[in-house]
Amino acid sequence: GAVVSQHPSRVICKSGTSVKIECRSLDFQATTMFWYRQFPKQSLMLMATSNEGSKATYEQGVEKDKFLINHASLTLSTLTVTSAHPEDSSFYICSARPPRTGGPAFFGQGTRLTVV
Amino acid sequence: SQQGEEDPQALSIQEGENATMNCSYKTSINNLQWYRQNSGRGLVHLILIRSNEREKHSGRLRVTLDTSKKSSSLLITASRAADTASYFCATDAGTYKYIFGTGTRLKVLA
């Protein structure tokens, strides 16, 4: 089946630094990918829609300057958490959907970000 | 908030029993899916049910959908300790942006 790979799976960074998370569709091209955030023991909240070759679309309340999204190729989207703070610590998950299948999206393994 | 709701929030059962989780959502949908998440891990797709379907089966899983009530249920039969996880419903209004439910934490005791 289709595979979405996310890297890194776990990252610890110092407050004030930036962290980049990669999301790759391994065996299909994805013009659109999605980024979600999940706080401990809570559900997933959609942050933004990543569009290949154009600007990302952010959900209400998500700071686009804080969470930079780049979708430079049909198989790679990146999420950069800029000037990270402890409150940015969370589980970030991406998803992508194989085109023209009518089937479900596939999710990456997730990235556990801890800002210290 | 557009987020769906699931109940119960937590469920603890004995191995071999059936587990039922319910999901309610707020807007019209194209399809609804159920996902499983083991602690601290990514999501695993379980089953997709389209808006024109009322019931689907996959192995020990049975999903129902009632679009008039904007609700769905997931039944896991003959549960196993390995079924212990969080279960989320997710709805797609046709934009492929999934709205997730609040989740049910299932614990199956051996």
pLDDT tens-digit readout, B10-54 = 999 999 999 999 999 998 998 999 999 998 788 888 999 999 999
Question: How near does any CA of chain B get to the CA of A18, in Å?
Answer: 22
Among chain B residues, CA nearest to A100: B96
For B:28-67, CB contacts with A below 8 A are 33, 35, 40-45, 48
Q: CA-to-CA distance for B79 and B22, rounded, in angstroms?
A: 17
Q: CA-to-CA distance for B86 and B91, rounded, in angstroms?
A: 17
pLDDT grade for B69, boundaries at 50, 70 and 90: very high
Neighbours of B97 (CB within 10 A): 20
Please give the pLDDT value at position A60. 93
Q: CA-to-CA distance for B25 and B44, rounded, in angstroms?
A: 20
Using 70 as the pLDDT threshold, list the residues of chain A that sit under it. Answer: 1-2, 101-102
Sign of CA dihedral A67, A6, A78, A83: positive
Residue type for A32, please? T
Residues of A in contact with B42 (CB under 8 A): 6, 93, 107-110
